[in-house]
Amino acid sequence: MIIRTRLAAGACALLALLAAGVAFPAGAVADEVSATAPKVDLVLDVSGSMRARDIDGQSRMAAAKQAFNEVLDATPEEVRLGIRTLGANYPGDDRRTGCKDTAQLYPVGPLDRTEAKAAVATLSPTGWTPIGPALLKAAEDLDGGEGSKRIVLISDGEDTCAPLDPCEVAREIAAKGIGLTIDTLGLVPNTKLRQQLSCIAEATGGTFTSVEHTEELTDKVNQLVDRAADPVVTPVATDGADRCEKAPALKSGLYTDREEFGQQRWYRVDVRPGQELRASVSVAADRAVNPSYGVLVRAVTVKGREIVRGEAAGTGRTDVVSAGLRYPKAEADDDEDAPAETVCLQVTHSFSAGAGVKTAPGLPLELTVDVVDGPSPARDVASFGLGRGWWLLGALILAGFLAGLVWGWLSRWRVAVWRTN
Amino acid sequence: MRMTRVLGAALLTLGLAAAPAAADSSPSPGASGDADAPTRAGTSFRTATEIEQGQTATANASTGDYLYWSFPADTGQRPTVEATVKLPAEHAAETWQIDVYDGLRRRQACRFGAQTRTAAAGAAQVELACALRTVRGWSEPWDGDPLPGTYYVRLTAVDVPTSALGQPVSAEVRVGSQDAGGAAAVDGSLAQPLVPGAGVTRDDEEESGEEALLASLEPDDGWASGWWSDRWVWTGLGGVLAALAGIGGYALTRGAGRPPRVPPSA
């Protein structure tokens, strides 16, 4: 019976898609937009435990459905939204099958609200909670395009498919360099779930929220979808070398890289005389790290002399530690087209991994490089050599008065000399 | 008669000279009202929500989130960042903190203010503040002085039990500033303010208004060029007063004009 309804729904969806295709032949225009369109994949836990009736007197599933309906109504036009389920289809006891149970309910693409809502309505709590595999598949759903990518995971129980740790899965997804953020929402106030979901969120720079009411769920998912729609600068992946000679040459821009524990990363930037180099580096703690850490960025000449450094250190809970430096290169006196100087940037961090935490892949590193025109010159200690204050006024008045006295005395003396002659 | 006129002029100029000194302590006028103040926060330096000075930005978030805002600060200002976090009805003791970073993402020290504060279990809210150093027009590259440009505010719970993670909180952030006046004026100026992304060349034709930028806000009347300070007034008035004093001194020793016995034809 269930299978038949699903088949019917599938046929309907196909028809609707075809109709949409006929109705909007301007696919070429859409293509241009969709390359940079933000993509969001909502991943919903449809495991058996979603039957529990503890959210505003209704079942977790009903709350999620209600929230999804409202979110689908409020989704901004430009967002490409998809829905993926986990544990929706296999009701049996076989762990291996249950842990593969994740399916795409609605593909990531231009949103047809009615169709998406119809798809959500078919869901009923069924199986296991394979969070890790679902995240992997969701990352595949979002592949391609240059816009921001976001997975919103809504779950009511921790992953039941060990040994694949969803936290490590999240870190690996982030390490692929596709600029993906995972936000997690927990439907149950339970310590283990909290730990797991906040670990997943932190691994990708996302947020974790514990939800106890339908309204909170709706608001939060809406907020996250809106956030995805905000235009953000997408960083360019680069690969720093272990010494300056082999380092990649960077121009002004925003870059990401990965830096393992105890590793050095080198980059090169060309700075012409009269330009100023500005670089800032943030190293993110995407896993459990020990509570003392630091970052050092040095600007070094090709010969190895340090020009300037930026350093920062900290303790306690943190998402990133960051430092920056600037290097104004003086104007060349004689030569108009003096050659550019190659400045090597060395980045090291002193994070250390907590006990039992994997050290690969490296920590995410974000690097901004700006080479701006015009060095920033110093002229005088005071502003244009000007002064201020009552002492200055007093000194000027005294000097003026004394000068007047002398001048008056001089002219009187001259008159006297003239009169005697 | 003449003496009183001179004295009057001197008093007047003294009064004028005192005016800039008095103006130093007045806070800079707030930016626009809170009607269009942002109601969200970013979650990283890259996505920080931009606010203007004088605005009160709000955001709904969860305990454990890292919330980022950015604001522009110009030469001679002493920005103060204030944040209020409204906590849920039931919670364990948790410590909140604001950190301020400059446009190069260097952490900036607070002169005073409760930068870190622990909310006791069940406390309704926690208030944080950070008063930054004076923003200078220029500093040595080896120096960490605040420079004109974009500043980032990060608000987060730095010490929080797992049981409190994910709880809904609402945060409020205000940035105000005082004008330090010419007393803080230094010579030299940055070629361009420390705004992230300043060196990236953009194709203006291709991009529309929805262009993604790391930072786009400027102070109300644009970035200061750095040449004006009240030192011009002080020094100018000093010159005038010196000239007056010179005339006074001259009159004293020279005597009253030509001696009466000297014939006018001489």
Mean of all residue pLDDT scores within chain A: 85
Q: Is the pLDDT of residue B104 over 80?
A: yes
pLDDT number for residue A306 = 95
Q: Which of B165, B225, B247 to mutate to test the interface with A (most CBs of A within 10 A)?
A: B165
Q: Which residue of B has its CA nearest to A327?
A: B141
B146 domain residue, yes or no: yes
CA distance A6 to A126: 15
Sequence letter at residue B79: P
Chain B residues whose beta carbon lies within 8 Å of the beta carbon of residue A195 = 162
Contact A318, A357 (CB under 8 A): no
Q: How confident is the model at residue A227 (pLDDT cuts 50, 70, 90)?
A: confident
B51 domain residue, yes or no: yes
CA distance A158 to A375: 55
Residues B6 and B113 in one domain: no
Residues B118 and B9 in one domain: no
- Cβ contact B194–A326 (<8 Å): yes
Residue located via tokens 């005294």: A398
Q: Is the pLDDT of residue B209 over 70?
A: no
Mean pLDDT calculated for residue range A291-308: 94
Q: Which of B231, B244, B247, B252 to mutate to test the interface with A (most CBs of A within 10 A)?
A: B231
Q: How confident is the model at residue B237 (pLDDT cuts 50, 70, 90)?
A: very high
Q: Does A364 touch chain B (CB under 8 A)?
A: no
Query: Which of A:206-245 have CB within 8 Å of B?
Result: 206-210, 216, 219, 223, 226-227, 230-235
Chain B residues whose beta carbon lies within 8 Å of the beta carbon of residue A283 = none
Q: How confident is the model at residue A189 (pLDDT cuts 50, 70, 90)?
A: confident
Rg (CA), chain B: 27
Name the residue with higher pLDDT: A87 or A162. A87
Q: How close does chain B come to A214, measured CA to CA in Å?
A: 13
CATH of the domain at B121: 2.60.120.380
pLDDT number for residue A146 = 80
- Report the DSSP pairing between strands A253-259 and A363-373: antiparallel
- Cβ contact A370–B262 (<8 Å): no
Residues B94 and B182 in one domain: yes
Question: What value of ipTM does the predicted structure carry?
Answer: 0.84
Mean pLDDT calculated for residue range A384-412: 91
Query: Which of A:243-302 have CB within 8 Å of B?
Result: 252-254, 276, 278-282
Residues in chain B: 266
pLDDT number for residue B14 = 43
Q: How confident is the model at residue B35 (pLDDT cuts 50, 70, 90)?
A: low
pLDDT number for residue A380 = 64
B105 vs A194, A324, A419: nearest CB: A324
Buried-exposed string A292-326: b where 16+ CB fall within 10 A, e elsewhere:
ebbbbbbbbeeeeeebbebbbebeebbbbbbbbbb
A392 vs B168, B196, B234: nearest CB: B234
In the beta sheet, which residues pair with residue A267?
A345
Q: Is the pLDDT of residue B196 over 60?
A: yes
- Cβ contact B249–A401 (<8 Å): yes
Phi, psi of A271 (to 5 degrees): -125, 120
Domain span at B238 = 2-17+233-252
Mean pLDDT calculated for residue range A164-191: 86
pLDDT number for residue A15 = 44
- Cβ contact B188–A324 (<8 Å): no
Name the DSSP letter for residue A371: E
Mean pLDDT calculated for residue range B33-40: 76
pLDDT number for residue B135 = 92
- Give the Cβ contact number of residue B161 at 10 Å: 14
Residues B10 and B58 in one domain: no
Contact B164, B91 (CB under 8 A): yes
CA distances to A21, A109, A170, A199 from A140, rounded to whole Å, are 24, 13, 13, 21
Q: How close does chain A come to B52, measured CA to CA in Å?
A: 18
B39 domain residue, yes or no: yes
CA distance B31 to B132: 19
> CATH 3.40.50.410 spans which residues of chain A?
34-229
pLDDT number for residue A17 = 44
Q: What is the DSSP string of A26-56?
A: -HHHHHHHHHH--EEEEEEE-BGGGG---BT
pLDDT number for residue B260 = 56
pLDDT more than 70, % of chain B: 78
- Cβ contact B47–A232 (<8 Å): yes
Residues B129 and B156 in one domain: yes
Q: How confident is the model at residue B17 (pLDDT cuts 50, 70, 90)?
A: very low
pLDDT more than 70, % of chain A: 90
Q: Is the pLDDT of residue A333 over 80?
A: no
B188 domain residue, yes or no: yes
Residues B60 and B12 in one domain: no
- Report the DSSP pairing between strands A39-45 and A80-86: parallel
Chain B residues whose beta carbon lies within 8 Å of the beta carbon of residue A345 = none
Chain A residues whose beta carbon lies within 8 Å of the beta carbon of residue B237 = 393
In which order are the strands placed within the sheet that holds A264-271?
A: A249-250, A264-271, A341-349, A292-301, A306-315
B68 domain residue, yes or no: yes
Q: How close does chain A come to B239, measured CA to CA in Å?
A: 7
pLDDT more than 90, % of chain B: 49
Max mean pLDDT range (A99-113, B107-121, B252-266): B107-121
Q: Name the burial class of residue B26, with classes exposed (0-12), middle (13-18) and buried (19+) by CB atoms within 10 angstroms of its CB.
A: exposed
Mean pLDDT calculated for residue range A379-404: 86
Mean pLDDT calculated for residue range A232-245: 89
Residues B125 and B189 in one domain: yes
CA distances to B12, B153, B237 from A393, rounded to whole Å, are 14, 41, 8
Residues B10 and B107 in one domain: no
B266 domain residue, yes or no: no
> CATH 2.60.120.380 spans which residues of chain A?
236-373
- Cβ contact B244–A230 (<8 Å): no
Mean pLDDT calculated for residue range A341-364: 90
Mean pLDDT calculated for residue range A297-324: 94
Query: Which of B:70-99 have CB within 8 Å of A?
Result: none
Q: Is the pLDDT of residue B90 over 90?
A: no
Mean of all residue pLDDT scores within chain B: 81
Fold type of domain A236-373: Jelly Rolls (2.60.120)
Chain A residues whose beta carbon lies within 8 Å of the beta carbon of residue B246 = 400-401, 403-404, 407
Hey, what are B51's tokens? 């606010």
CA distance B81 to A232: 25
Residues B177 and B245 in one domain: no
Contact A286, A204 (CB under 8 A): yes
User: Which range (A180-194, B130-144, B216-230) has the least confidence?
Assistant: B216-230
Q: How confident is the model at residue A98 (pLDDT cuts 50, 70, 90)?
A: confident
- Cβ contact A378–B44 (<8 Å): no
B264 domain residue, yes or no: no
- Give the Cβ contact number of residue B104 at 10 Å: 24
A386 vs B17, B105, B231: nearest CB: B231
Q: How confident is the model at residue B202 (pLDDT cuts 50, 70, 90)?
A: low
Q: Cα torsion at B67, A296, A170, B154 (round to 10°)?
A: 0
Is A34-229 CATH 3.40.50.410?
yes
- Cβ contact B156–A234 (<8 Å): no
Q: How confident is the model at residue B261 (pLDDT cuts 50, 70, 90)?
A: low
- Cβ contact B198–A370 (<8 Å): yes
B93 domain residue, yes or no: yes
Contact A132, A43 (CB under 8 A): no
Q: Which of A172, A196, A184, A161 is nearest to A42 (CA)?
A: A184
Whole-prediction pTM: 0.83
B212 vs A194, A231, A316: nearest CB: A231
CA distance B58 to A359: 37
Residues B11 and B100 in one domain: no
Residues B123 and B242 in one domain: no
Q: Does A117 touch chain B (CB under 8 A)?
A: no
- Cβ contact A322–B105 (<8 Å): yes
CA distances to A186, A246, B105, B198 from A279, rounded to whole Å, are 38, 19, 9, 11
Size of interface A-B (CB pairs under 8 A): 267
Rg (CA), chain A: 32
Contact A223, B41 (CB under 8 A): no
Name the residue with higher pLDDT: A168 or B20. A168
Residues B239 and B209 in one domain: no
Mean pLDDT calculated for residue range A355-368: 88
Q: Does B161 touch chain A (CB under 8 A)?
A: no
Q: Which residue of A has its CA nearest to B187?
A: A383
- Cβ contact B234–A388 (<8 Å): yes
CA distance B251 to B243: 12
Q: How confident is the model at residue A381 (pLDDT cuts 50, 70, 90)?
A: low
Domains identified in chain B, total number: 2
Phi, psi of B184 (to 5 degrees): -100, 5
